[in-house]
Amino acid sequence: MPSYKLVVVGGGGVGKSALTLQFVHSKFVEEYEPTIENFYQKQVEIDEETCMLEIIDTAGQEEFALMRDTYYRSGDGFLVVYSVDTRDSFDEVTTFKEHILKTKQSDTAPIVIVGNKKDLVQRRKVSSDELKDLASLFQCAFIETSAKTRENVDMAFFQCVREIRKFKALNNSIDNDSHPKRKKKKKNCFII
């Protein structure tokens, strides 16, 4: 059974833990309690394939930023979460994405931008169109969720797995095209 390591990142108070707990345990936690790091496992079926998800819920506070590098290096895919009612958390998405790519030493990575707290309609500060524009700029998947109502919660994690699969398939394709045994080598002929 394939296993995928998903890393949930974002600023403090955006609902990373609420989103993760809603996905893993189908429960909503009302109180905000800062997370240092939590690790969860869940077996799911995505597109007719059973797989194990290893989910790391990271700390949003800046004082734990160094710990994130370890998670970024080992992660297969990333849910970069912001809160639709906080402009600053949306602005931080770019920083998180750039840090992931820098740590992974890559131009791309399987990333899903997650606009959480969709249920807070009256307090919304970031429009759905802004999310779409940013995702288009970054060429990555996006989704709006509500950990409170459970709207699109499963879809966010499932989409991250789909992005990992696409990423791996693309890299395998590139590796196969550049594999030395699969390429015809030109033989040099020297006449002495």
Q: What angle do CA 146, 8, 142 make, to 5 degrees?
A: 55
May I ask the CATH class of domain 3-178? alpha beta
**What does the pLDDT profile of the chain (192 residues) look like in tens digits?**
999 999 999 998 999 999 999 999 999 987 766 666 789 999 999 999 999 999 999 875 555 566 778 889 999 999 999 999 999 999 999 999 999 999 999 999 999 999 999 999 999 999 999 999 999 999 999 999 999 999 999 999 999 999 999 999 988 877 666 545 444 444 454 455
pLDDT at 83: 98
The helix (run of H) or strand (run of E) holding residue 89 is helix 87-104
Q: List Cβ neighbours of 143 (8 Å cut-off, separation of 6 or more).
A: 112, 113, 114, 115, 152, 155, 156, 159
CA distance 144 to 178: 38
